Amino acid sequence: MKKINDGHTNISFKKNNTFFQQKIKNGFNHKINYKELKEFDFVPKLIEDTNETIEWEWIDGKTLDNPTNADLIKIAQIFKKIHNSKIQLPKSNIRQRINEYRKILKDKNIKIDIIERLFKKINMILKNINRNTPIHGDVWSKNIIKTNDEKLYFIDWEYAHMGDIHFELAYIIESYNFSKEQEDILLEEYKDYSDELLKKHKILINYLTILWAYSQNELPYDIKPQIKKLENLSKQYL
């Protein structure tokens, strides 16, 4: 087996012609019944799923680091297929994740001013969040594979849950740091969304990501730009 170093949680390998992963459970991931995904042609074929490991067909391609305009349209179409499907996913645990990450920061004696200041407003966003739509919940560049024939695959569904389309849209916009033009292309193809709710979920995504990063044993990357972005978004939209 050849180890794959992308990702922050699980231990992954290329095993012959499959993608093999040792599950590292944190209490919030791998709650999904992965067989629910079999209806989607943009998800690799599931080979085996056990309590400790999961194995998928290997997809020859590259992670989608720099999506083209055509890719953005395809992503929006894939989102629609997921969100309009009847698959049943675990309940949303965004609130629980935020509370757990805040507890970890408290135990580590890490205090971040904006995290404390926005806590009540974040709770209001969470109070009004939709929890009835199936979403991937973790769509960033390493979780989209593009093949040589331009097909896109969504992988790593461990955080999939019944949630809010605006969380999904905000997640990809913020994780890729899309330009206004890229965001417009995605949203124009997707169509059915609320601009006001999208703005609030952008704040939620950055808040959650900052908490997650500081809850790790070591900071996975420089989080200062994201803190600054959260400051700007909160001034504009809260």
Neighbours of 95 (CB within 10 A): 13
Could you read off the pLDDT of 64-88 as tens digits, one per residue?
999 999 999 999 999 999 999 999 9
Could you read off the pLDDT of 200-221 as tens digits, one per residue?
999 999 999 999 999 999 999 9
List, in order of start, the domains of the chain with CATH numbers: 61-237 (3.90.1200.10)
Instruction: Give dist(CA 132, CA 125) in Å, integer.
Output: 16
Mean pLDDT of 84-102: 97
Angle, helices 195-215/94-107, rounded to nearest 10 degrees: 40
pLDDT on residue 8: 79
pLDDT tops 80 at residue 7? no
